[in-house]
Amino acid sequence: MDVVGLTPVIPVIFAFALPLTSIIVKGNRKIIQAYALLGTGLTLISALKLFELVYSSEKPPIYTFGGWTAPIGIIYEVDRTGALITLLTAALMFLIAIYSYRYLEHEEGLEWYYTLYLGLEAGLIGVLLTGDAFNLFVMIEVTSIAAYALVAFYRGRKDAVHAALKYAFIGAIGTTMYFLALGILYGAFGTVNLADLSAKVHGLSFPVTGSPVGNIVIASGVALALATWAFLIKAAIVPNHFWLPEAHPAAPSPISAVLSGLVVNVGVYALIRFLYTVYGGELTPGLAKIVGTLGTVVIALGAVSALFGALMMNAQRDVKKLIAYSTIMHMGYLFMAVGLGTQLGLQAALFHIINHAIAKALLFLAAGMFIHAIGSRDINDMAGLGRQMPMATLGLAIATLSLVGIPPFNVFFSKLLLFDALMEKSLALAMVIVVSSVTALVAYMRVFYKIWLGKPSREVAVGESKSMAFVVLLLAAAVVVIGLAAPVILQHYIEPAATQTMDYKLYIQTALEYASRLKLL
């Protein structure tokens, strides 16, 4: 069975069949939940198989849709970076589906929730596996539309609808700009396949599509600027961040976890594909100058985001808004690392994507347990709840300690790596990590103090649901285990992934082997 093509298809099928299934089962919540767990579970198994396959083979595996190879058809080409983040995505989506059931017990429309949820998963996995810039556009749109609709899940709430509309608007502008960038790339290079684009950029030959037309330096410059703008919007980097602090808190907490942990990664991953696969390695002087400028801009915006996010965290009363600003801060770190263009930078970014996703999901889910218990997002209303909800408090404690970078939790090690990678460039950039982390620590400690030691504003008896506590504990364990096993994970998973992604020639070569089998008239 070809797991490369299968992995994104499973959630698509489950998503499309769900509305009909829910009519057949007459909206029975238990069956719908079981269905969603089956869908996300099968995707997880498939992602696991894919992960094994990619890490055990030297070359990135390729799936050709309908048997049409690049550059004529759409291909999925999965390198280790893609496979690693796919496994992370599938695992988190499965766990969050378990959590969602109790969180949404008082809400109508579980079937629509899961239709969008599975659609979102399909889009995310498609983004990570695709080897085609246009398919990347389609998959980003699939992810985005599901995300916009999920933000508006509480459709009777003013803040949710307003935030979703704002998010959809800015997102639609971004993806339109990316589409224009694709048109320009196609006009200059005559292809939208990533391997083919990379070959043309590096002056290598590729069958069928011929040689570039016109001035490829100007075309690349305009296209990269537009595409990067779109990715900056998707990842909420200052000055395109303003939708995130409204959209992420307005969604149900499990969706906030998905949005903050996984969906924002789309922007980072797409930028990695463009900067490392298409425009990586040795370039002609004109192109090198453009990529260098872009890297500098990305690093600068990332640094501003990190500091801005950390500062704004201290001004929030809404606990989810506070966590949302922390996401902006961490996205800033990732863009700083990706902008470096070095192998160490890529390794740091990859490891941080994984650690941040797990810790941030844990933080949102733990905070979600409090919100579920009292029905409010205000930190002051949560005062003193900590003692009544030990599991949620434990999750919150581990997540906050990890996110600010306290050893031995996982984010400490990726921050260390980020620090090293940025030190190669300049001390000032490395200090951004330290300063923003300390600022964030202050904000987190305020929340923690309030929840643990604060005086309750009213007497409420609250309990913890077992399934929600289970997911939180599992993620908390993952944070600790990844932290303790950091050197092993770095050596066995992160380093090979970064090495393979840096090696754009291998990426081209693998696609070329398929392309050379094409029989023309």
Choice between 59 and 162, CB closer to other proteins: 162
Choice between 266 and 479, CB closer to other proteins: 266
Stretch that binds other proteins, among 141-149, 228-236, 326-334, 386-394 (CB under 8 A): 141-149
Question: Taking CB under 8 A as the rule, does residue 161 contact other proteins?
Answer: yes
Tokens of residue 267, six digits: 């922007």
Choice between 157 and 289, CB closer to other proteins: 157
Pick from 502, 517, 518, 521: nearest CA to 60: 502
Q: Which residues pair with 73 in a beta bridge?
A: none
Stretch that binds other proteins, among 52-60, 119-127, 165-173, 261-269 (CB under 8 A): 165-173
Question: Taking CB under 8 A as the rule, does residue 141 contact other proteins?
Answer: yes
Q: How many other C-beta atoms are found inside a 10 Å radius of the C-beta of residue 5?
A: 16
Least distance CB 140 / other proteins (angstroms): 10
Choice between 137 and 507, CB closer to other proteins: 137
Choice between 144 and 327, CB closer to other proteins: 144
Q: Give the three-state DSSP class for 265.
A: helix
Choice between 172 and 484, CB closer to other proteins: 172
Stretch that binds other proteins, among 84-92, 146-154, 345-353, 389-397 (CB under 8 A): 146-154
Non-local CB neighbours of 332 within 8 Å, separated by 6+ positions: 237, 238, 301, 302, 303, 304, 305, 306, 307, 308, 309, 436
For 318, phi and psi rounded to 5 degrees?
Answer: -80, 120
For 77, phi and psi rounded to 5 degrees?
Answer: -125, 120
Least distance CB 321 / other proteins (angstroms): 11
Stretch that binds other proteins, among 10-18, 153-161, 357-365, 500-508 (CB under 8 A): 153-161
Choice between 210 and 292, CB closer to other proteins: 210
Question: Taking CB under 8 A as the rule, does residue 75 contact other proteins?
Answer: no
Q: How many other C-beta atoms are found inside a 10 Å radius of the C-beta of residue 19?
A: 12
**Window 238-277: contact mask with other proteins (x via CB under 8 A):** --------x---x---------------------------
Choice between 185 and 447, CB closer to other proteins: 185
Give the one residue of 30, 157, 317, 517 binding other proteins; rule: CB under 8 A: 157
Q: What's the first-to-final CA gap in the chain, in angstroms?
A: 31
Question: Taking CB under 8 A as the rule, does residue 32 contact other proteins?
Answer: no
Non-local CB neighbours of 71 within 8 Å, separated by 6+ positions: 191, 193, 196, 206, 207, 208, 209, 515
Q: Using an 8 Å Cβ cutoff, are 36 and 94 in contact?
A: no
Least distance CB 144 / other proteins (angstroms): 8
Pick from 399, 360, 365: nearest CA to 262: 360
Q: How many other C-beta atoms are found inside a 10 Å radius of the C-beta of residue 521?
A: 2
Tokens of residue 247, six digits: 């959209």
Choice between 55 and 229, CB closer to other proteins: 229
Give the one residue of 20, 30, 155, 435 binding other proteins; rule: CB under 8 A: 155
* Residue whose token pair is 């939708």: 243
Question: Taking CB under 8 A as the rule, does residue 120 contact other proteins?
Answer: no
Least distance CB 142 / other proteins (angstroms): 9
Least distance CB 71 / other proteins (angstroms): 10
Q: What is the 3-state secondary structure (H, E, C) of 381-408?
A: HHCCHHHCCHHHHHHHHHHHHHHHCCCC
Task: Tell me: cis bond preceding 407? Omega within 30 of 0 counts.
Answer: no
**280 vs 503: CA distance, rounded Å:** 8
Q: How many other C-beta atoms are found inside a 10 Å radius of the C-beta of residue 290?
A: 19
Q: Which helix (H) or strand (E) holds 63?
A: strand 62-64
Stretch that binds other proteins, among 35-43, 84-92, 173-181, 498-506 (CB under 8 A): 173-181
Question: Taking CB under 8 A as the rule, does residue 169 contact other proteins?
Answer: yes
Q: Which of residues 88-107 bind other proteins (CB under 8 A)?
A: none
**478 vs 77: CA distance, rounded Å:** 29
Question: Taking CB under 8 A as the rule, does residue 337 contact other proteins?
Answer: no
Question: Taking CB under 8 A as the rule, does residue 152 contact other proteins?
Answer: yes
Stretch that binds other proteins, among 145-153, 199-207, 269-277, 364-372 (CB under 8 A): 145-153
Question: Taking CB under 8 A as the rule, does residue 153 contact other proteins?
Answer: no
Non-local CB neighbours of 139 within 8 Å, separated by 6+ positions: 123, 124, 126, 127, 130
Stretch that binds other proteins, among 135-143, 275-283, 291-299, 371-379 (CB under 8 A): 135-143
Give the CA-trace dihedral at 318, 320, 324, 326, to 10 degrees.
80
How many residues in the shown chain lie near other proteins by CB under 8 A? 36
Least distance CB 350 / other proteins (angstroms): 29
For 317-372, give the DSSP string: SBHHHHHHHHHHHHHHHHHHHHHH-SHHHHHHHHHHHHHHHHHHHHHHHHHHHHHH
Q: Which of residues 183-212 bind other proteins (CB under 8 A)?
A: 183-184, 186-187, 192
For 67-79, give the DSSP string: GPPTTTS-EEE--
Question: Taking CB under 8 A as the rule, does residue 134 contact other proteins?
Answer: yes
Burial class of 88 by CB neighbour count within 10 A (0 to 12, 13 to 18, 19+): buried
**Window 340-379: contact mask with other proteins (x via CB under 8 A):** ----------------------------------------
Choice between 151 and 361, CB closer to other proteins: 151
Residue ranges in contact with other proteins by CB under 8 A:
134, 137-138, 141, 145, 148-149, 152, 155-159, 161-165, 168-169, 172-173, 175-177, 179-180, 182-184, 186-187, 192, 246, 250, 521
